[in-house]
Structure 1
């Protein structure tokens, strides 16, 4: 490769990295990773105790046995039978729903309302400009018509 191509490649790579979509995606991943801890805390600190009021506090312990007898080793591996661990699926589903709700209500909805206000202001400004332009155009037409009328009346007087 020649040295002339390398700066172009690096500049292209830099332009790719600095695009809004890539930067936005990177920010979203970092925020999402940090937000995972909050969601896990909500599930463990609020949801699991509420479920625990009905049964066990740990959703992972809810399971059904597809093939008897189901037995697990102390480390959680299957000793015998075919257990279906539907409690862990329920816990993950609750985590997802909580995450989606918080993202929607705290991020998406306020941003959509903000963008709608910005768009309404932009349309109002454009509407005002159009009225001013139409009004100016009408005034110019009136001036033109008045000049034509003066020219015609000036030629008729002579």
Structure 2
């Protein structure tokens, strides 16, 4: 009786890399990195200037002091402006991604699905109709056969 040989580490690694989900993940990361540049360009080139026209583009200078005096390195400073800026950047970026990419893609996929279902529905109606016609032909042939030869329907 031969013992089953364990696959080598190299064979296991090769099998891991060749699985579909690893390749799909790698493609998603590369596309995501490229897409990040587009989103950042929209946010920096369009959204931030519009927000800057209303207020300020840089919130980093807004802070509060927890101690009585915040001068130089003295005191405890809360940099809430940078937190607020990062939060706004995230919300703006998420809105750009949703409204410019996710929503249009979802509508497009829904339209494709509706077309596919409509095509399938038409195909089912045709198939049912053909089946009904074949049943009628069969019934007519059986009726003629029962009456015997020489009896025509008129």
1:70 is paired with a residue of what secondary structure?
coil
> Does 2:92 correspond to 1:98?
yes
Give the whole-Å Cα distance in 2 for the aligned partners of 1:17 and 1:69: 56
What's the offset of the Cα at 1:4? 8.0
> Does 2:20 correspond to 1:26?
no
Question: Which residue does 1:36 correspond to in 2?
Answer: 40
Question: Which residue does 1:76 correspond to in 2?
Answer: none
**Unaligned stretches of 5+ residues in structure 1:** 73-78
The 3 A distance-change label for structure 1 pair 43 and 85 is farther
CA RMSD of aligned residues (A): 2.9
Question: Which residue does 1:142 correspond to in 2?
Answer: 136
Question: Which residue does 1:75 correspond to in 2?
Answer: none
Question: Which residue does 1:64 correspond to in 2?
Answer: 64
**Unaligned stretches of 5+ residues in structure 2:** none
TM-score, normalised by the number of residues in structure 1? 0.75
Runs of 4+ aligned residues of structure 1 deviating over 6 Å after TM superposition are 1-5
The 3 A distance-change label for structure 1 pair 69 and 94 is same
> Does 2:111 correspond to 1:107?
no
Give the whole-Å Cα distance in 2 for the aligned partners of 1:136 and 1:32: 53
Which of 112, 118, 122 does residue 116 from structure 2 map onto?
Answer: 122
What's the offset of the Cα at 1:2? 9.1
Farther-moved stretch of structure 1 (122-131 vs 142-151): 142-151
2:33 is paired with a residue of what secondary structure?
helix
The 3 A distance-change label for structure 1 pair 133 and 43 is closer
TM-score, normalised by the number of residues in structure 2? 0.77
